[in-house]
Every structure is written in structure tokens, then in C-alpha cells.
């Protein structure tokens, strides 16, 4: 099957005496098996990258989750150690990548840290340690050495009627594996809410009047993509959008010849 190229964000980590630009295997596996695309890791070198050339060559962008948080200086927040850890090299790459992808109509899927990057890139802000807010649920993973337990599907979210995701799996409630301690606070003006948790926490957004699929989810569809239908549908929708974009690019090249 044809696999469109999809640009994937990377974290900068130091181990074995090297700095690595890397992405977790779960996201790459989900891109291949769930979306049917070929993930291309984009090193986090910020303004040194020709992102316009990159976006002319790919048919999608996927922003992964991460242990790190978007640096608060980008949205007027508190850049304390408690709100970290941070990865400013990733921020310097994903912020312009998000804006350029949307401008060019390249399909976008933003997961966990990715939805927060999407919101900040489009003028929004983030709330930290949301479990401490009055009336808020604790969205963090339980303390466990078992990853399946930490990422278990245990939370209801309500899909907004008429939203992009309602077209993916219908309006109403779905069960997801939301694992986070930060969330969207002030919504970016170009975004609209797609789904909320029982406590009102924003769990999914989309870009208003986007030229292509442009969705962010706070939960982790990559983890159970092989066994959970909700997770599968998210990646299938993204993969279908990438293939549509690839077909349109091919048609445009053919017409120009």
C-alpha cells in the first residue's frame, strides 16, 4: 500500500554521551500500522531547518506526546522548575512547523504535548497542575511500573455535535486514555473545541476553517491503536487525509506538466 510521508516531531534527549533527536516507538508504530503512512523524524534544529521545503515534500505532520512541556515563556506562564521539564529545541521547531502546516493545508495530528503546542502556536495558553484546580479530575497516570496500567482507557470524553471528530466516530461519549497534568487554558483564537472531559477540561480541538484535517487530542490514541476502535479511527482519519493530500499533489504536478 502507498505510504505517504509524514513529518514527526522529535524530543532532544541526552544519554550514552550523545544528544539524541528521537520519538517514542508507539507513535511510529501507530503511524505505520494505524494510519498507513511512513513516519519521517524531523530533527529539532529550529530556524536552521527549511520547513517550507519539508512541507512541500510530505503529506502530513504528527506531533507526539512527551514528558517535556512547552516552555511557559511562549504563552506568558511561569517558567519554574516545577512546571518542567522543558525542551526548547523542540519548541523552536514545532511552533513554526504547526503554523506553516496549517497555512499550507498539510494534514496535522497533534497528540498530548502536541495539542498543547498547537494551542500555543496559535495564540493560546496552558494551565499547569490541573489536578489541583477545584472540581478538576486527576488526569495523571496512576503510579505504576506497568505501562498498560498507566495508559489504560479509563476516562469519558464528550464529542461536540457537528465537530470534525463527530464525523470520525459520532457525537456523544467515547472512552479514552487521557494522561496529563497540563491542559489548554485560553483557547487559541483559530481553534475550536472538539471534545471535553467530565470536568470541562479540553480534550480535543480542531483548526477553524482548516484546508485539511487539523486535529489535536490530549489523550493517547497511539498506545492502543491495534486494539481500540476509537484510537484506530483517529489514525485512520489522519492517514486518509494524508493520502488525499498526496493525491492532490500528484494531480497538481500532472496538470503542470
Greatest C-alpha distance within the chain:
61
Of 112, 180, 194, 203, the catalytic one is 112
Question: How far, in Å, CA of 218 to CA of 118, rounded?
Answer: 11
Of these residues, 117, 194, 203, 222, which one is catalytic?
222
Q: Which of 69, 204, 184 is nearest to 133 (CA)?
A: 184
Query: Tell me, what DSSP letter sits at residue 34?
Result: T
Residue 166, SS3? Answer: helix
139 noted as active-site residue: no
Catalytic residue list contains 129: no
Find the helix packing angle between 229-256 and 25-33, rounded to 10°. 70
Catalytic residue among 139, 180, 220, 245: 220
Angle between helices 88-104 and 113-121 (to 10 degrees): 70
Query: For this structure, is 220 an active site residue?
Result: yes
Distance CA(159)–CA(229), nearest Å, equals 15
DSSP annotation string for 109-162:
EEETHHHHHHHHHTT--EES-GGGSTT----SPPS-S-HHHHT---EEEEEPTT
Residues assigned a catalytic role: 112, 220, 222
Amino acid at each position: 500500500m502507498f505510504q505517504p510521508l509524514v513529518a514527526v516531531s522529535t524530543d532532544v534527549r541526552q544519554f550514552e554521551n550523545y544528544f539524541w533527536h528521537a520519538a517514542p516507538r508507539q507513535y511510529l508504530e501507530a503511524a505505520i500500522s494505524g494510519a498507513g503512512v511512513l513516519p519521517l523524524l524531523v530533527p529539532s534544529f529550529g530556524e536552521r531547518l527549511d520547513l517550507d521545503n519539508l512541507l512541500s515534500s510530505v503529506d502530513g505532520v504528527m506531533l507526539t506526546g512527551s514528558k517535556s512541556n512547552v516552555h511557559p515563556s511562549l504563552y506568558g506562564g511561569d517558567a519554574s522548575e516545577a512546571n518542567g521539564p522543558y525542551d526548547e529545541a523542540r519548541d523552536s521547531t514545532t511552533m513554526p512547523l504547526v503554523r506553516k502546516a496549517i497555512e499550507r493545508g498539510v494534514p496535522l495530528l497533534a497528540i498530548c504535548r502536541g495539542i498543547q503546542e498547537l494551542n500555543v502556536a496559535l495564540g493560546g495558553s496552558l494551565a499547569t497542575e490541573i489536578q489541583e484546580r477545584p472540581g478538576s479530575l486527576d488526569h495523571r497516570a496512576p503510579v505504576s511500573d506497568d505501562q498498560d496500567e498507566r495508559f489504560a482507557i479509563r476516562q469519558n470524553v464528550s464529542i461536540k455535535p457537528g465537530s470534525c471528530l463527530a464525523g470520525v466516530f459520532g457525537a456523544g461519549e467515547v472512552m479514552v486514555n487521557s494522561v496529563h497534568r497540563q491542559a489548554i487554558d485560553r483557547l487559541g483564537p483559530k481553534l475550536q473545541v472538539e471534545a471535553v472531559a467530565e470536568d470541562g477540561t479540553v480534550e480535543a480541538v480542531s483548526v477553524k476553517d482548516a484546508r485539511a484535517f487539523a486535529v489535536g487530542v490530549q489523550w493517547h490514541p497511539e498506545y492502543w491503536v491495534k486494539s481500540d476502535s476509537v484510537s484506530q479511527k483517529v489514525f485512520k482519519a489522519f492517514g486518509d487525509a494524508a493520502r488525499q493530500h498526496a493525491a492532490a499533489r500528484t494531480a497538481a504536478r500532472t496538470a503542470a506538466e
